[in-house]
Amino acid sequence: MRIWLNKYFGFSKGEFNGLLLLILIIVVLKAIPIIYGYTRPMEKDPPNLLAQIQKIAIADENYRNNFRYRIGDPSPGKTVKLFNFDPNTLDADGWQMLGLSPKQAKAIINYTAKGGRFYKPEDLQKMYTISPEMYKKILPYVKITERELNVSGKYTAFDKKEYVKKVAVVVDINQADSAKLDEIKGIGGVFAKRIIKYRERLGGFYKKEQLMEVYGLDSARYAEIKDQISISNVPLKTININTAVFSDLKRNPYLSYKQINAIIQYRKQHGNYSNISDLKKIVILDQQVIDKIAPYIYF
C-alpha cells in the first residue's frame, strides 16, 4: 500500500506512518462509546420508586385544585350570592360574596384604586382573577353607571347629558363679541377670539371674504359659516394717509414695512396724496394691495 501511495501520490515513509496513526486514532474514538455501552454497570431503580411516583401525582392534583380556586372558582363550602353590582365601586366583601377569594377580591380593588376602570361589562375579562366560568356567571349582573372625574380626581356618578345642537343664527361680525361669535356653527372660542383680534387690527370688516384672512380659517370653514354671518354698516376705522406716521400704518395687515416706508418717503418727496390714484405711482404697491387698503384710508 505504501508503494502504491508513493507511486501515485508521492507519499514518503514518514507521511505513510502518519496516515496510519491518524486512521488508528479515528477507529479508537469511534469504538470508545460502543465499548462503554457494553461495560457500563446497570443502574438500579431507587428504593420505593412507586411510592414516590404516587406522592408526585397527589401533589400535582392538589396544585391543580388550588389553581382552579385561584383563577376565580369559589372555594368549597363558600356561600355564593349573585346580585346586581358596579365593578367600579364594589368593595372587597362584595366580590367575596360573588364567590371570589380575599386575595382575588384584593387584586381587583387594587386595580380600581390605582385608576383602573371598567367601561363595559366585557372589560371584566381582562382580570386574570376571574375565570371564564365565573365571568359567564356574573356577567348578567354587571350594571356599570356613567361616571366622570371630580375635582379630587375620583370618579363620581353623573346623569348622562344630551348634546345640544347649535341653532343656526346670523351674526354681525363687525359688532359681535366673542360669546356671540361662538354661537356660529363651525366657530369655537379660539376662532372667535382670533376674529375679534383681526377685526381690531383692520378697523372693521367691509366684506365677508376677509374672514378667510384670519389665521386657520380656510375656505372650507368659510363656506360652512358664510350664511351665518352678516356685515353691518358700522363705519370702518380709517387713517389720513397724508398725516399718518409709521406706527399708524403698521397695524394694517395688508402693508409690509417696506411698503409703509415707501408711502411715507414718497409723500415727503412729492407732497400730499390727493386721491387713490397717487398711490399707484409707488412702484412696490400693486393694484391688489391698493384695493385692500383703500377702505381704510382717506385724504
Question: Grid coordinates representing 182?
Answer: 361662538
Angle of CA points 153, 157, 161, to nearest 5°: 110
Decide if pLDDT at 43 tops 60: no
* Strand pairing report for 147-149 and 155-157: antiparallel
pTM of the full structure: 0.45
* pLDDT number for residue 62: 58
What is residue 280's DSSP assignment?
A: G
298 Cα distance to chain centroid: 54
How many separate helices (H) and strands (E) can be counted in the chain?
A: 12, 6
Q: Tell me the pLDDT band of 46, cut-offs 50, 70 and 90.
A: low
As a whole number of angstroms, the distance between CA 56 and CA 50 comes to 10
Q: Is the distance from CB of 243 to CB of 259 less than 8 angstroms? A: no
94-103, 132-141, 278-287 — most confident range: 278-287
The mean per-residue pLDDT over the stretch 221-238 comes to 92
Q: Tell me the pLDDT band of 2, cut-offs 50, 70 and 90.
A: low
Question: Grid coordinates representing 114?
Answer: 390605582
* pLDDT number for residue 162: 54
Who's near 24: CB < 8 A, 6+ residues apart? none
pLDDT 10s digits, 77-133: 566 788 899 989 899 888 888 888 888 888 888 888 888 888 888 888 888 888 888
Name the 3-class secondary structure at 236: coil
Q: Is the distance from CB of 209 to CB of 222 less than 8 angstroms? A: yes
Provide the residue count of the chain: 299
Q: Tell me the pLDDT band of 158, cut-offs 50, 70 and 90.
A: very low
Cα–Cα distances in Å, from 148 out to 85, 98, 154, 156?
18, 26, 8, 5
Q: State in Å, rounded, how far the first CA of the chain is from the last one.
A: 126
Decide if pLDDT at 200 tops 90: yes
